[in-house]
Amino acid sequence: MDEIIRTVKDYILTTYLAGENPSALTASTPLISSGILDSLATVELVSFLEQRYEIELEAHDADPSRLGTLSDIAKLVQSKLATRA
Partner 1 sequence: MWAGLVTQLLLCVFVIRLFELESRTFYHMCLLAVGGFAVHAVLPIRYRLAFFAALSLVATAIVLGVMDTGWLVAVSAVLIGICHLRTSLGTRIGLLVAAGGSLAASRAGWVPAPWSESAWPILGSMFMFRLALYLHGLRYEETRPTVPRTLAYFWMLPNACFPLFPVIDYARFTRLYYDTEPYAIYQIGVQWIARGLTHLLLYRLVYFHLTLSPAGLESLGDLLQYLLATFLLYLRVSGQFHLIVGLLHLYGFHLPETHRLYYLASSFTDFWRRINIYWKDFMMKLVYYPSFFRLRRYGNTLALGVATAIVFLTTWLLHSYQWFWLRGGFPITTQDVLFWGVLGALVVVSTLREAQRPRSPRLTPRGWSASRALRTVGTFSAICILWSLWSSESTSEWLGIWEAAGRITLRDMLLLTGTLLLGLAIAGWAWKPPTLAPGQPVAFFRNSTVVTSATLVGLLVLAQPTVSANLPPGPKDIIQSLKLTTLNTQDAALLHKGYYEKLDNVSRLRTQLWDVYGNRPPEWREGLVATEAWRKRNDFLLGDLQPSTSVDFHGARLSVNRWGMRDRDYQQAKPPAVYRIALLGPSLTMGSGVDDSATFDAFLEKRLNQEVGGAGRRYEVLNFGIPAFTLLQQLALLEDRVFAFQPDLVVITGHAKLADGLTTHLMQVISQEVAIPYQPLKAIIAEAGVDESWRGIPIPFESVRSGLRSLGVETRLPWREAERRLHSKEPEILRWALARLVADVQANNSVPVFLALNVVNDARERNPLLLKAAEEAGFVVLDLIDVYDKHDVSSLRVADWDRHPNARGTQLIADRLYEELERRESIFNLGLTAPRAPPTNPLSGGTR
Judged by the rule CB under 8 A, the positions of this chain that interact with partner 1 are 15-21, 24-25, 29, 33-36, 38-41, 43-44, 47, 57-60, 62-65
How far apart CA 4 and CA 49 sit, in angstroms, is: 10
Looking at the Cβ atoms of 4 and 25, the one nearer to partner 1 is 25
CB of 3 to partner 1, least distance (A): 22
Give the contacts of 13 (CB within 8 A, at least 6 positions apart). Answer: 20, 22, 25
Looking at the Cβ atoms of 39 and 85, the one nearer to partner 1 is 39
CB of 45 to partner 1, least distance (A): 11
CB of 84 to partner 1, least distance (A): 18
Give the contacts of 37 (CB within 8 A, at least 6 positions apart). Answer: 12, 16, 31, 45, 67
Q: Vertex 58, ends 74 and 78: CA angle to 5°?
A: 20
